[in-house]
Amino acid sequence: MQRFAIGIEFCGVSYKGWQAQQPGVPSVQETLEKVLSKIANEPVAVHGAGRTDAGVHATNMVAHFDTSAIRPIRGWLMGANSTLPKDISIQWIKEMDEGFHARFKAQARRYRYVVYNNPQRPALLHKQVTHAYYPLDADKMIEAARKFEGTHNFESFRAAACQSNQPVRHVSHCRLIRHGCYLVLDIQADGFLHHMVRNIMGCLLEIGQGMHEIDHIDKIFAAEDRKAAGVTAPPDGLYFIQAHYPEHFDLPKVPLGPHWLNMPE
């Protein structure tokens, strides 16, 4: 058996998330598995670096699969992309040894959440960004975002249906930058809870509207209660952009997204 790592870009609008579910429910994972199994002429299981909610996108979701089929790298790449639906694309593929695992070897995962802050809704970016038509205090939101950095109990920021055994996560960075009408939240952690990024963004949007002061975040953490954290932001503006692995795996370096999603490192 040979193991391959792949980098996947997808628009999540038509899918109920990354993870395969019951038959008839479209998912990114199941769509990839069907196409790769056809190329391999044998069943292929795809394992991703993380999960995404329905409607969430990715610019470089890392995954791996094992197969006994012998195909050239170009055959896998071109064969898959010529068969996959237009909203899913494999950007790269690399042979790996059995020590690599897309999920268990990932040391950190990174997301970006894009808000389009303008009285008029966007048309070309429909379902690609979250539209906030109301005024926002960006400076206040930028300061508030830093509150999430470090090691915290994120019980108040996870969905009731979250299946994680414990809610403590280490956030290595959480920063928000304004680009014209765009507000882009960039957050990286050792792991994420169900709806964690969307709940953080929902909290920041409420602060930006003047509904709460920045120290309200401390009260939410202390409550350890989902009801204390307010609204869950929509999935439209959320992107899985990167998974970090030990350097010896030497995975390809790729752009973190289209120009309107990028921000200074």
Is residue 107 within 8 Å of 172, Cβ to Cβ?
Answer: no
- Each residue of 4-34: b (16+ CB within 10 Å) or e? bbbbbbbbbeebbbbbbeeeeeebbbbbbbe
What is the model's pLDDT at position 254?
83
Domains of the chain: 2-105 (3.30.70.580), 108-240 (3.30.70.660)
- State pLDDT tens for residues 74-95: 999 999 999 999 999 999 999 9
**Helical H segments across 103-193, by residue range:** 138-145
Q: Which residues are catalytic?
A: 53
CB atoms near residue 63 (< 10 Å) = 22
What is the model's pLDDT at position 265?
57
| Positive or negative torsion for Cα 38, 95, 97, 89 | negative
What is the model's pLDDT at position 230?
87
The structure tokens listed for 24 are 């008839």
Mean pLDDT of 179-207: 95
Mean pLDDT of 181-197: 94
The structure tokens listed for 163 are 């299946």
Is residue 176 within 8 Å of 184, Cβ to Cβ?
Answer: yes
pLDDT above 80 (res 258): no
Residue 199 makes CB contacts below 8 A (sequence gap 6+) with 156, 157, 158, 159, 226, 229, 230, 232, 233
Question: pLDDT band at residue 22, thresholds of 50, 70 and 90?
Answer: confident
pLDDT above 60 (res 227): yes
66: exposed, middle or buried (C-beta count within 10 Å: 0-12, 13-18, 19+)? middle
| Strand, coil or helix: 245 | coil
Q: Are strands 57-67 and 238-244 parallel, antiparallel or unpaired?
A: parallel
pTM above 0.85, yes or no: yes
- State pLDDT tens for residues 120-141: 999 999 999 999 999 999 999 9
Mean pLDDT of 55-65: 96
The structure tokens listed for 230 are 């307010």
Please state, rounded to an integer, the average pLDDT across all residues of the chain.
Answer: 93
Q: What distance in Å separates the CA atoms of residue 185 and residue 189, rounded to the nearest whole number?
A: 13
The structure tokens listed for 42 are 């044998």
pLDDT above 80 (res 58): yes
Residue keyed to tokens 């579910």: 21
Question: pLDDT band at residue 261, thresholds of 50, 70 and 90?
Answer: low
What is the model's pLDDT at position 57?
96
